[in-house]
């Protein structure tokens, strides 16, 4: 039964991607990005989600999903008998049939944070894979990183032919899928820009010796504005602003009140310095203004503003801000700065009650304060 492999004297894998031929070999390598004639497929034919504008580029800190092909393998054994064997994506993910191994490739392997088989809903209409999911790291500048991952499925036992109950794929047979080269990069935008909160994949190049204005918005408000005169250097900065508490170590300290975080995430990598001739003007909207009632629910003079220090400390910087009504008639907290950071606007001072619940390790040593970033 196991004498199959002198085997693949002729073999064709009929995929949804096209027909791919392969030469005699005990193992099979399928290049997902090639047609059978060697020409390159459009990215949309083998990537279900995560490619930028249907190109082989990926936004940093994101996921890309590759289709696992299904199709027919035609095999001619030593005795001349031809077998037709159907490989399906569902079979490849059957843990009783195949062992799965992932390869991050040879280039920039540390940029890949995780590889896995996924059944996330993707496509139109939405279907569940299985897909090959590749997750990549954040990038805070305009550096580009090339990656070329692959996944290999190895048979755990002899797999029998659909036709005549003979061995089609012997135990230990490897089927490797290569996705080709992809590039992780941020887009570079110049001058004045408007962003939605959470916008990723962008760095800003200030306009040289000119006024620059960058705004961030949510579905209801302009939540932050940065104004400055660009200098000669035009040093790029990473403008992503997050208003979510999920990754904030200090969330529990503000659990007894309505507090709001403005996390310019590039601060963690030192990529939020402003290339300006003088200190830039930063405005954070007053989150305690009720537009329906046209009133402030917390008096500005009672608000407390914190900034997270480089050492992870919570620092009261209220005195460096002033509550004003800007030229657009919006209530904001305004300050001067050369670098964007992580700010928390609270209706009252934080409480350290949450610190009492922190567990102490078995060795008796205190857990160090690691700051706001998980």
- Sheet with 304-308, strands from edge to edge, namely 241-242, 259-264, 342-346, 304-308, 314-316
Query: Please, which pLDDT band fits residue 148 given cuts at 50, 70 and 90?
Result: very high
| pLDDT for 102 | 98
* Domain match, 208 and 105 both: no
pLDDT at 2: 34
User: Do 195 and 132 share a structural domain?
Assistant: no
In a domain, residue 275? The reply is yes
Three-state secondary structure string covering 147-158: ECCEEEEEECCC
pLDDT band at 358; cut points 50, 70, 90? very low
What does each C-alpha distance from 357 to 215, 360, 367 come to in angstroms?
A: 39, 9, 12
pLDDT tens readout for residues 275-324: 999 999 999 999 999 988 999 999 999 999 999 998 889 999 999 999 99
| pLDDT higher at 4 or 127 | 127
Q: Is the four-CA dihedral 25, 27, 33, 36 of positive or negative sign?
A: positive
Report the pLDDT value the prediction gives residue 271, as an integer from 0 to 100.
97
In a domain? residue 23? yes
Q: What is the pLDDT of residue 81?
A: 67
Tokens of 213: 């204005």
Q: Same domain, yes or no, for 165 and 211?
A: no
Same domain, 205 and 351: yes
**Do residue 136 and residue 73 come from a single domain?**
yes
Q: How far is CA 126 from CA 5, 119, 356, in A?
A: 39, 11, 46
Identify the residue whose tokens are 């659990």: 255
Amino acid 371: pLDDT: 34
Cα distance from N-terminal residue to C-terminal residue, the chain: 54
For residue 246, what pLDDT is reported?
Answer: 84
**In this structure, is residue 4 part of a structural domain?**
no
Q: Are 97 and 193 found together in one domain?
A: no
Same domain membership, residue 167 and residue 197 = no
Determine the pLDDT at residue 131. Answer: 95
- Using pLDDT thresholds of 50, 70 and 90, give the confidence band for residue 90: confident
Please give the Cα distance from 286 to 288 (Å, whole number).
5
13-22 average pLDDT score: 38
What pLDDT shows up at residue 61? 97
Cα–Cα distance between 319 and 313 in angstroms, integer?
Answer: 17
Above pLDDT 70, what percent of the chain?
A: 83
pLDDT at 162: 65
Cβ atoms of 10 and 76 within 8 Å: the answer is yes
* Residues 179 and 192 both lie in one domain: no
Position 46 scores a pLDDT of: 95
Q: Tell me whether residue 151 is in a domain.
A: yes
Cα Rg of the chain (Å, integer): 28
Residue 370 maps to a domain: no
Given CA atoms 93, 99, 104, 110 in this order, what sign does their dihedral have?
positive
CB 13 within 8 A of CB 72: yes
Answer yes or no: is pLDDT of 24 > 70. no
Last residue of a domain, one of 117, 152, 184: 184
The two three-digit tokens of residue 125, written as one number = 């209409």
How many independent structural domains does the chain possess? 2
Residue with tokens 């190049």: 205
Is it the case that residue 25 has pLDDT exceeding 60? no
* All residues at 6 or more sequence positions from 355 whose CB lies less than 8 Å from its CB, including other chains: 253
Q: Do 62 and 147 belong together in one domain?
A: yes
> Tokens 């975080």 appear where?
261
Q: Helix, strand, or coil here: 208? A: coil
The answer to whether residue 367 sits within a structural domain is no
Identify the domain containing residue 132 by its residue range.
Answer: 11-184
Q: Give the closest residue to 302 by CA, choosing from 256, 346, 351.
A: 346
């Amino acid at each position: 039964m196991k004498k199959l492999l002198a085997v693949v004297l002729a073999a064709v894998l009929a995929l949804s991607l096209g027909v791919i031929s392969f030469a005699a070999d005990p193992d099979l390598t399928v290049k997902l990005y090639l047609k059978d004639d060697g020409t390159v497929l459009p990215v949309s034919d083998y990537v279900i989600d995560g490619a930028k504008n249907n190109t082989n580029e990926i936004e940093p800190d994101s996921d890309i999903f590759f289709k696992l092909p299904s199709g027919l393998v035609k095999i001619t054994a030593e005795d001349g008998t031809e077998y037709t064997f159907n490989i399906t994506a569902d079979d490849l993910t059957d843990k009783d049939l195949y062992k799965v191994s992932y390869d991050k490739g040879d280039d920039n392997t540390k940029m890949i944070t995780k590889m896995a088989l996924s059944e996330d809903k993707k496509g139109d209409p939405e279907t569940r894979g299985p897909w090959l999911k590749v997750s990549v790291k954040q990038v805070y500048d305009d550096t580009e990183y090339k990656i070329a991952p692959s996944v290999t499925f190895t048979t755990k036992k002899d797999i029998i032919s659909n036709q005549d109950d003979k061995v089609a794929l012997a135990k230990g047979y490897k089927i490797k899928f290569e996705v080709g080269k992809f590039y992780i990069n941020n887009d570079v935008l110049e001058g004045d820009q408007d962003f939605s909160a959470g916008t990723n994949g962008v760095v800003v190049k200030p306009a040289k010796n000119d006024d620059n204005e960058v705004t961030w918005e949510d579905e209801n408000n302009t939540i932050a504005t940065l104004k400055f005169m660009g200098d000669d250097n035009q040093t790029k900065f990473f403008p992503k602003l997050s208003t979510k508490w999920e990754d904030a170590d200090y969330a529990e300290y503000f659990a007894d009140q309505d507090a709001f975080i403005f996390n310019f995430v590039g601060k963690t990598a030192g990529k939020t310095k402003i290339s300006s001739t003088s200190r830039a003007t930063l405005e954070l909207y007053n989150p305690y203004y009720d537009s329906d009632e046209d009133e402030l629910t917390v008096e500005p003079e009672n608000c407390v503003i914190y900034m997270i220090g480089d050492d992870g400390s919570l620092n009261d910087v209220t005195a460096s801000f002033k509550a004003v009504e800007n030229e657009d008639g919006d209530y904001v907290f305004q300050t001067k700065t050369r670098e964007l950071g992580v700010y928390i606007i609270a209706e009252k001072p934080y409480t350290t009650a949450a610190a009492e619940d922190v567990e102490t390790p078995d060795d008796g040593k205190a857990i160090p304060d690691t700051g706001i970033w998980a």
